[in-house]
Amino acid sequence: MKQSTDILVFIARRNVTCGECHEELGRHAWITLDRTRGALCLSCADLDHLVFLPSGDPALTRRAKKHSTLSAVVLEWSRTRKRYERQGLLVEAAALEQAEQECLADSEVRARRQEREAARRAELDREYVARFAARVRQLYPHCPAGRETLIAEHACLKYSDRIGRTAAAKGLDEEAVRLAVLAHVRHAETEYDALLMRGYDRWEARAAVEGAVNRLLARWEGV
Ligand SMILES: [Zn+2]
């Protein structure tokens, strides 16, 4: 039986490089710490599908955490207080929406959600999303309707966070698309996130869902 502890995400103080994809993440990057690889970007840590909920609304935070299969606590070092301080929580977008529904009586929450959605839309490069989505649809013709856009929006957000990514490098090649679809399937269609939350490391969890992932990808490919 795995022991369940909070997954921790740190806002880095110095320039960091991901120990897995070796991308330079710069200062203030959001990272997890891996026992063997050191700092990992949230993409490599499989946490980059989560959305940030800043601390400050205990009821919303409690509900969002309850509804989220996978969540992580975000910490930043306070120079004045000489300790890590909790900045908020990373949770699933759907869990946050559900929690907000439950808090809707509070009009401030509604205003904040509108702000967040506007910020998110502004970040998305629409043309890139459309091209990425078309590529997903081409490689996985049997993937459920609308899913290609979800996957593409996620990929676009990921690349918009990266330092030094040129438009040309915003991976539209087959391998980048496959990796994006694979990550989506793990999170959206398998027990993967629940296993991470129960303390499995990524390799154990990936091995556990590999069969299910491959079956589904084959179905989406139509082979
Ligand atoms: Zn990485």
> What separation in Å is there between the alpha carbon of 215 and the centre of ligand 1?
26
Q: What is the rounded average pLDDT for all residues in the chain?
A: 87
Judged by DSSP in three states, 61 sits in helix
CB 86 within 8 A of CB 74: yes
CA of 22 from ligand 1 middle (Å) equals 6
158 vs 94 pLDDT, higher one = 94
Q: What distance in angstroms lies between residue 31's CA and the mean position of ligand 1's atoms?
A: 9
Q: Compare 128 and 122 and report the one with higher pLDDT.
A: 128
Query: Mean pLDDT across the stretch 79-92?
Result: 93
> 115 CA distance to ligand 1 centroid (A)?
29
- Rounded distance from Cα 120 to ligand 1 centre (Å): 22
CA–CA gap between residue 64 and residue 171 (Å, rounded)? 32
User: DSSP state, 42?
Assistant: T
Alpha-carbon Rg of the chain, whole angstroms? Answer: 18
CA of 60 to the centre of ligand 1 (A): 30
| Alpha carbon distance 222, 107 (integer Å) | 46
Distance CA 152, CA 129 (A): 5
pTM, entire model: 0.67
Element (H, E) at 121: helix 107-123
Fill in the amino acid letter for 222: G
Q: Rounded to the nearest whole angstrom, what is the distance from the C-alpha of residue 110 to the centroid of ligand 1?
A: 34
Instruction: Give the CA angle between residues 159, 174, 30 to the nearest 5°.
Output: 25
Helix (H, G, I), strand (E, B) or coil at 71: coil
**For the CA atoms of 161, 164, 169, 172, what is the dihedral angle to 10 degrees?**
0
Specify the pLDDT at position 75.
96
CA distances (Å), 105 to each of 1, 66, 114, 208, 222, in order? Answer: 40, 19, 15, 41, 46
What confidence category does residue 137 fall into, taking pLDDT thresholds of 50, 70 and 90?
very high
What's the gap in Å between 198 CA and the centre of ligand 1?
A: 22
Strands 16-17 and 7-11: unpaired
Say whether pLDDT at 1 is over 60.
Answer: no
- Which has the higher per-residue pLDDT, 102 or 134? 134
CA of 40 to the centre of ligand 1 (A): 5
